[in-house]
C-alpha cells in the first residue's frame, strides 16, 4: 500500500515541482521514497532525504544513485515517483520504482496482489526468475509474460504504471472494483500527470482549482460523488474501475485537447448462471469466502480487523478467529470499533457478542461531536472532495486507533452489501416479482406496512413510464424545492436533470443492480473514504468481500438465494452458521459505523453548526446563499422539516471550496 506519482512531459517540467507532487502524499508511504527520470537515452534513479538508509545502501539496479535535489536537468520525457508503506518484503528490495533485471521495464505501484505467491510459482515454471519476494516484481514479470492480459491473473487491489523504456510504451491499470485510486490531469501545456490523490496536482505549476459544475450539482442535489470518471475538480479524471490504457507516450499526449484518456474496459465479469441447489451454493460461497480472507491476511506486518457489530465485519472477524485456532496460533486478533455513549447510535452490545465469542483483543473509540469542528478541514483535505455524512469522521478515528496500536493492515466488511442484497433494491425487486406472478398471499405475509406495498406498486408503474418522465419528476420533489432556495442553481447547470437520465440502468435484474452499486453508487465513494481514512494514518485497508471470485459467484446466483423474507444476505447468513455468534448472525437491523449526527446538529452543537455555515458560505463563490442556508438548518433544528444529510452537504461543499481554494469559471 503506497502512493504513486507520474508525468509524461510535453514541455520541460521542473524536477522540484515533481518532487513536491510526491511529497504531498507522505502519509501514504512514510517508510521510503523513490524516483526515476527517463530521458531519450538515459535513466536517472533518485532518492530524497526521506528515502530509507537501507535503500540508499542497497546495490539493486533500481536503488537511488542521486539525491533528487542534485538533479538540475528538466528535459526528461517521463518520470515516476513513489511513497512506500512497507507491507511485503520489508527489505530494500521492495523499494520503488522497481525495474526488471534488464532495466527495460519499470513500475510504480500502489496496492496488493494477494495471489502473488501462486502467480510467482506459475511464472517460475515458465522459466522466469525473481530477485525479490514482493508482489510488485510479480506484476512486472507477469506483464513480461502475458502482456496486458496479466490483469486477468491478478486477485487484489491496485493502481500502477509500467513503462517499457525500449518501446517507449506505457501501461496504466486500475483494479476491477476501483479499490485503489488513480487520478490524472493534463496541464495547460499538455503535460500528462497521474497520481494517487487529487491534491498532488495542486502543487504543480499552472494548477488552478476549478469547479466541475455538473458534478457539484450531482453532489448538492443527489448526494452523488465518485459515480463517474469525472471529479468535482474540472478536468481531473479517474481511471475507471476495471479500466486500463496501453500505448506509446505520444498516444497519451495527443489526447491533451480532450483532457481525458481513451481507456479500455479490461474487466468483463463472468455471467454464467448457477444451476445447483441452495445448499450447494452455500458450501461453495463459504469456501470462497474463507479463501478470500486467507489471501487477505498475507502480510509481513501486523494485521487486524475493523469490527462494527454488523454481519459483514463480524463474519470476517469470526472466520479469522477460526483460522488462528486451526493453525494453533496463540496471538489474539486485534479489532477496532467505533462506539457511542448514546445507546440509540451504539453498536457495542453487538460488538461485545463477537468479542465474547472469539476472545479477540478489542479496541474502541468514542468520537466526540465537538471534534467535528476542529478536524473537518483536515479530513476534507485527506478526502480531496466533499463527503456526505459523518461516518467518514468515525472511520478516520478507527484507523487512527489501529495505527496507534501498531496495526498496519486492517480488514473490513466493505463491498458485501452491493452484491449480497444489503440494500433495498434487491428486496423490492424480489417483491415486485411476487406481485407480477400474482403471489399476493406470500407477498402480504412479509409486508410490514401499506407503505411497503405502495413502494412495490410505484416501482412497477415507474418501469412502465418513459425514462425522460421518471427523471424529470425526480427534479421536482419537495426536497429539491427547498434546496433551490439555498443553491444558486444557475451557477451550476442551465437545466436541472437527474445524473442518470442518459444512462441505461435496469432495476429489474439483480446483476444490473449489483453492477450499478459496485461501479457507480454507493461503493465507489465508500472505497474512497476507506482509502483516504486509512492512508491518512499510514494504514492499509483491505476488503476481502471484493475478491472477484466471490463477487462473480454471488452474481451467478438466483435472487432468492440472496434475498429472502425478513432476511437479506441469505447466502452469507446461512453459511455463517456455527462460525458466527448466533445473536449477531440472526440480527435483522443494519447499522454499521453510525454517528449521532442528528443529535449533534439539533441538541448538542446547534450554534456551532450555524457558525460553521455562516463562516464558510462565502467560499462557495455565491453558489450557497448564506441566509437561506441558515434558515434551512434552523428549521431542521426546530423540527419544522425532517432531518436529512443535505445540511452537511451544504456545509461540506463550502469547507471543501475553502480548503482547496476552488474557483468558479463564468
Q: Indicate the average pLDDT of the chain.
A: 93
Task: Count Cβ atoms below 10 Å from residue 464 Cβ, excluding itself.
Answer: 6
Average pLDDT, integer, range 331-360? 93
Give the model's pLDDT for residue 433: 82
End-to-end CA separation in angstroms for the chain: 40
Q: What confidence tens digit (pLDDT) does each residue in 304-321 have?
A: 999 999 999 999 999 999
Please determine, for residue 12, whether its predicted confidence score (pLDDT) is greater than 90: no
Q: Which residue has the higher pLDDT, 7 or 13?
A: 7
Give the model's pLDDT for residue 440: 77
Reduced to 3 states, what is the DSSP secondary structure of residue 585? helix
Rg (the chain; Cα; Å): 25
Please determine, for residue 468, whether its predicted confidence score (pLDDT) is greater than 60: no
Please determine, for residue 3, whether its predicted confidence score (pLDDT) is greater than 70: yes
Instruction: Please give the grid coordinates belonging to residue 509.
Output: 435484474
Quote the CA–CA distance of 203 and 179 in Å, as a whole number: 25
Reduced to 3 states, what is the DSSP secondary structure of residue 167? coil
Please tell me whether the peptide bond between 522 and the residue prior to it is cis, using omega within 30 degrees of 0.
Answer: yes
Side by side, the strands of the sheet bearing 334-338 are 361-365, 334-338, 303-306, 409-411, 540-542
Quote the CA–CA distance of 545 and 414 in Å, as a whole number: 7
Q: Give the number of C-alpha atoms closer than 13 A to the C-alpha of residue 309, restricted to the C-beta side.
A: 25
Give the model's pLDDT for residue 25: 98
Q: What confidence tens digit (pLDDT) does each residue in 58-96 have?
A: 999 999 999 999 998 788 999 999 999 999 999 999 999
Average pLDDT, integer, range 593-618? 93
| Residue 82, CA distances (Å) to 88, 169, 252, 362 in order | 16, 19, 21, 34
Helix H or strand E encompassing 363: strand 361-365
Average pLDDT, integer, range 506-512? 86
Q: What confidence tens digit (pLDDT) does each residue in 582-595 have?
A: 999 998 876 656 78
Q: What are phi and psi of 6, to 5 degrees?
A: -165, 155
Please determine, for residue 619, whether its predicted confidence score (pLDDT) is greater than 70: yes
Instruction: Please give the grid coordinates belonging to residue 179.
Output: 479499490
Contact 361, 333 (CB under 8 A): yes
Contact 180, 111 (CB under 8 A): yes
Task: Count Cβ atoms below 10 Å from residue 527 Cβ, excluding itself.
Answer: 24
Contact 180, 4 (CB under 8 A): no
Average the pLDDT over each of 40-54, 58-72, 444-458 and give the range with the smallest value. Answer: 444-458
Give the model's pLDDT for residue 221: 95
Percent of the chain scoring above 70 in pLDDT = 94
Give the model's pLDDT for residue 550: 98
Contact 230, 415 (CB under 8 A): no
Quote the CA–CA distance of 220 and 198 in Å, as a whole number: 20
Give the model's pLDDT for residue 48: 98
Give the model's pLDDT for residue 448: 67
Percent of the chain scoring above 90 in pLDDT = 81
Q: Which of 135, 62, 56 is nearest to 100 (CA)?
A: 62
Give the model's pLDDT for residue 571: 98
Query: What is the sign, positive or negative, of the torsion defined by CA atoms of 502, 506, 512, 518?
Result: positive
Helix H or strand E encompassing 350: helix 348-358
Most confident of 325-329, 334-338, 454-458: 334-338
Give the model's pLDDT for residue 630: 98
Quote the CA–CA distance of 328 and 322 in Å, as a whole number: 10
Q: Which of 241, 289, 316 is nearest to 549 (CA)?
A: 289
Average pLDDT, integer, range 627-635? 97
Give the model's pLDDT for residue 458: 66
Q: Annotate 377-416 with three-state secondary structure.
A: HHHHHHHCCCCCCCHHHHHHHHHHHHHHCCCCEEECCCCC
Contact 552, 269 (CB under 8 A): yes
pTM (2 decimals)?
Answer: 0.95
Please determine, for residue 216, whether its predicted confidence score (pLDDT) is greater than 60: yes
Task: Count Cβ atoms below 10 Å from residue 272 Cβ, excluding itself.
Answer: 9
Predicted confidence band at 1 (pLDDT cuts at 50, 70, 90)?
low
Torsion (CA) 357, 358, 359, 364 in degrees, nearest 10: -90
Cα angle 465, 469, 471 (rounded to 5 degrees) comes to: 110
Quote the CA–CA distance of 588 and 312 in Å, as a whole number: 13
Amino acid at each position: 500500500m503506497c502512493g504513486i506519482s507520474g508525468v509524461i512531459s510535453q514541455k520541460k517540467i521542473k524536477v522540484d515541482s515533481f518532487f513536491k507532487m510526491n511529497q504531498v502524499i507522505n502519509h501514504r508511504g512514510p517508510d521510503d521514497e523513490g524516483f526515476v527520470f527517463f530521458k531519450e537515452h538515459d535513466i536517472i534513479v533518485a532518492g530524497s532525504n526521506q528515502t530509507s538508509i537501507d535503500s540508499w545502501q542497497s546495490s539493486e539496479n533500481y536503488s537511488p544513485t542521486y539525491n533528487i535535489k542534485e538533479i538540475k536537468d528538466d528535459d526528461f520525457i517521463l518520470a515516476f515517483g513513489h511513497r512506500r508503506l512497507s507491507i511485503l518484503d520489508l527489505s530494500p528490495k521492495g523499494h520503488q520504482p522497481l525495474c526488471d533485471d534488464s532495466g527495460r521495464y519499470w513500475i510504480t505501484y500502489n496496492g496488493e496482489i494477494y495471489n502473488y505467491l501462486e502467480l510467482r510459482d506459475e511464472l517460475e515454471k515458465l522459466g522466469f526468475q525473481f530477485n525479490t519476494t514482493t508482489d510488485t516484481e510479480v506484476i512486472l514479470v507477469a506483464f513480461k509474460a502475458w502482456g496486458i492480459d496479466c490483469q486477468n491473473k491478478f486477485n487484489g487491489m491496485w493502481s500502477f504504471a509500467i513503462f517499457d523504456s525500449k518501446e517507449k510504451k506505457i501501461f496504466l491499470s486500475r483494479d476491477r472494483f476501483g479499490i485503489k485510486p488513480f487520478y490524472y490531469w493534463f496541464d495547460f501545456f499538455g503535460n500528462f500527470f497521474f497520481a494517487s490523490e487529487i491534491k498532488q496536482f495542486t502543487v504543480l505549476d499552472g494548477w488552478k482549482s476549478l469547479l466541475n459544475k455538473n458534478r457539484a450539482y450531482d453532489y448538492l442535489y443527489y448526494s452523488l460523488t465518485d459515480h463517474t470518471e469525472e471529479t468535482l475538480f474540472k478536468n481531473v479524471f479517474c481511471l475507471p474501475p476495471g479500466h486500463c490504457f496501453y500505448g506509446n507516450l505520444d498516444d497519451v499526449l495527443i489526447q491533451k485537447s480532450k483532457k481525458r484518456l481513451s481507456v479500455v474496459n479490461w474487466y468483463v465479469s463472468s455471467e454464467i448462471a448457477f444451476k445447483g441447489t441452495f445448499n450447494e451454493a452455500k458450501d461453495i460461497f463459504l469456501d470462497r469466502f474463507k479463501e478470500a480472507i486467507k489471501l487477505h491476511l498475507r502480510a509481513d506486518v501486523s494485521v487486524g480487523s475493523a469490527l462494527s457489530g454488523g454481519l459483514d465485519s463480524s463474519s470476517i472477524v469470526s472466520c479469522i478467529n477460526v483460522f488462528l485456532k486451526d493453525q494453533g496460533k496463540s496471538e489474539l486478533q486485534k479489532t477496532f470499533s467505533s462506539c457511542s455513549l448514546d445507546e440509540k447510535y451504539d453498536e457495542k452490545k453487538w460488538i461485545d457478542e463477537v468479542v465474547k465469542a472469539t476472545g479477540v483483543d478489542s479496541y474502541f473509540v468514542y468520537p466526540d461531536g465537538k471534534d467535528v469542528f476542529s478536524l473537518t478541514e483536515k479530513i476534507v483535505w485527506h478526502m480531496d472532495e466533499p463527503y456526505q455524512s459523518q461516518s467518514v469522521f468515525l472511520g478516520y478515528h478507527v484507523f487512527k486507533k489501529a495505527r496507534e496500536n501498531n496495526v498496519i493492515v486492517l480488514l473490513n466488511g466493505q463491498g458485501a452489501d452491493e452484491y449480497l442484497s444489503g440494500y433495498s433494491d434487491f428486496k423490492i425487486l424480489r417483491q415486485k416479482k411476487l406481485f407480477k406472478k400474482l403471489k399476493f398471499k406470500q407477498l402480504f405475509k412479509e409486508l410490514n406496512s401499506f407503505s411497503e406495498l405502495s413502494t412495490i406498486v410505484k416501482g412497477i408503474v415507474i418501469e412502465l413510464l418513459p425514462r425522460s418522465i421518471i427523471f424529470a419528476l425526480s427534479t421536482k420533489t419537495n426536497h429539491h424545492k427547498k434546496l433551490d432556495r439555498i443553491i444558486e442553481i444557475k451557477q451550476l447547470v442551465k437545466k436541472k436533470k437527474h445524473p442518470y437520465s442518459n444512462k441505461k440502468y435496469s432495476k429489474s435484474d439483480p446483476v444490473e443492480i449489483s453492477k450499478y452499486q459496485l461501479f457507480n453508487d454507493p461503493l465507489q465513494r465508500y472505497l474512497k473514504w476507506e482509502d483516504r481514512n486509512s492512508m491518512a494514518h499510514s494504514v492499509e485497508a483491505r476488503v476481502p468481500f471484493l475478491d472477484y471470485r466471490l463477487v462473480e459467484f454471488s452474481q451467478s446466483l438466483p435472487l432468492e438465494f440472496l434475498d429472502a423474507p425478513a432476511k437479506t444476505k441469505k447466502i452469507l447468513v446461512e453459511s455463517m452458521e456455527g462460525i458466527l455468534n448466533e445473536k449477531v448472525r440472526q440480527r435483522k437491523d443494519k447499522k454499521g459505523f453510525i454517528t449521532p449526527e442528528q443529535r449533534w446538529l439539533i441538541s448538542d452543537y446547534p450554534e456551532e453548526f450555524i457558525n460553521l455555515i455562516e463562516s464558510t458560505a462565502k467560499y462557495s463563490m455565491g453558489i450557497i446563499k448564506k441566509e437561506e442556508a441558515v434558515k434551512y438548518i434552523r428549521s431542521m433544528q426546530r423540527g419544522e422539516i425532517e432531518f436529512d444529510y443535505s445540511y452537511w452537504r451544504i456545509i461540506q461543499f463550502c469547507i471543501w471550496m475553502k480548503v482547496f481554494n476552488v474557483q468558479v469559471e463564468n
